[in-house]
Structure 1
Amino acid sequence: MSQPTGLRERKRQATRAAIVRAATELFLARGFAATSVTEIATAAEVSRRTFFLYFPSKEDVLFHHIEGHLQIAQRALDELGPEATAWNAVQEATTALVDAFDTAGVDELADLRTEMIRGAQGLPASLMVRLQSVHTTLVTLIRQRFPDPALGPEISAHLGACLGAVAATAFSAHGARRAPAMRTAVQQAGAGFR
């Protein structure tokens, strides 16, 4: 049974949502590079200091959704049947992440994320930290279900290959082709681990 959300937590969630909404509108209207943290804070009706309490940088707003999608991946793992293998768990968790991106409305910023990454000529540190956190969390969850120590390195490598393939595909495919290409990338990355 979930605990009711207190007033302080509801206010915190509302402030975070206001920052994300303001940043999204500004990024889409003006572009990522032309939008400053000060402008985002002003549009969200918060101070710069408050912005930085929620996000270390404006790049982090572009990737704000990743941690929330972990809950969706965890539900996919929880729904696996008793016949599932560690390979199935990695494939299902990664596909659940792709599906979350595809249905959560976050793809309105996908082209801006791609533009930012291309301009930086690589993944920003904030995204690398988030992807590492996703990898670590999912490996832990999958290993809880499949605790055989011999499977640990394979689970980690398989998941790393899938996440890397998804990230690379997300930044190379465009529009409506992005999500199907990401699903295909998960299958192809997993083929060598079957």
Structure 2
Amino acid sequence: MGITNLRDRKREQNRIATVRAAWTLFIERGYDHVTVSDICLAADIAPRTFHRYFAGKEDVVAEPVRQMTTIVTEYVTGAAAGLSDREVLREAMVLVARYVVEHRDLLIALRTVAQQSTHLKASQTVVRTETEPDIAALLDARHPDGEPGQWRRRLLVGCTTAAFRVWYEDFLRGDLPDPMAHLAEVLDAAGT
């Protein structure tokens, strides 16, 4: 078991090193001027190793979104049974906001990289709308008795993530004196 844990840690370290190398190159040269070979060279890995973690370089740009989505899904999955769906989602958004605050400079740089690229779609570097049904399903799973209101959960997830996106744009656009207080204000205004 120790070998497996060591192997898993090594893989995660390689993945993180690959992401950092790619982000550095994207920021320095622009997304369109970086190849997978460039990333592999900078990360000191083989192309085969790169493709073990990512289908292509666009997946590396989406890594913060994957991390934010993971924060939400792990929190929702592990949240205490006594919390309401609203409380669970709100706390999940607080945790994601802390990640965003901690990685603000990187997220701004990556958003700029995405906007300047002719090959990237306007890449959302925030919890994506296509993950909302999955989050709603995780909330549904918290109610094994089949409590009605599944559409209400989908609506709650949609409103909460939309409110978070408003906060996210406000946060990346300028200096908020207290980003977490602003998040609370935005979530309150959305009724979430």
- How high is the TM-score relative to the length of structure 2? 0.71
Partner of 1:151: 149
Q: Deviation at 1:155?
A: 1.2
Q: Deviation at 1:156?
A: 1.1
Farther off after superposition, 176-185 or 146-155: 176-185
1:188 aligns with 2:164: no
CA contact (8 A) 2:100 2:107 kept: no
CA RMSD of the aligned region, Å?
3.5
1:56 aligns with 2:49: no
Q: How many residues align?
A: 184
1:142 aligns with 2:139: yes
Gaps of 5+ in 1: none
* CA displacement, residues 10-33 of structure 1 (integer Å, 9 cap, x when unaligned): 332122112012112223333334
- Match of 1:152, as an amino acid? Q
Query: Do the aligned partners of residues 51 and 184 (structure 1) sit closer, same or farther apart at CA in structure 2, a change above 3 Å counting?
Result: farther
* 1:139 match: secondary structure: helix
Query: Do the aligned partners of residues 93 and 54 (structure 1) sit closer, same or farther apart at CA in structure 2, a change above 3 Å counting?
Result: same
Question: C-alpha distance in 2, partners of 1:90/1:155?
Answer: 10
1:131 aligns with 2:128: yes
Partner of 2:34: 35
Q: Deviation at 1:70?
A: 4.6
Q: Deviation at 1:159?
A: 1.0
CA contact (8 A) 1:86 1:146 kept: no
- Match of 1:9, as an amino acid? D
Q: Deviation at 1:62?
A: 2.5
Farther off after superposition, 44-53 or 67-76: 67-76
* 2:31 match: secondary structure: coil
CA contact (8 A) 1:77 1:93 kept: no
* 1:65 match: secondary structure: helix
1:113 aligns with 2:110: yes
Question: C-alpha distance in 2, partners of 1:186/1:98?
Answer: 12
* 2:149 match: secondary structure: helix
CA contact (8 A) 2:114 2:122 kept: yes
- How high is the TM-score relative to the length of structure 1? 0.71
Q: Deviation at 1:184?
A: 4.2
Query: Do the aligned partners of residues 146 and 90 (structure 1) sit closer, same or farther apart at CA in structure 2, a change above 3 Å counting?
Result: farther
Question: C-alpha distance in 1, partners of 2:110/2:165?
Answer: 11
Question: C-alpha distance in 2, partners of 1:164/1:61?
Answer: 24
Q: Deviation at 1:163?
A: 1.8
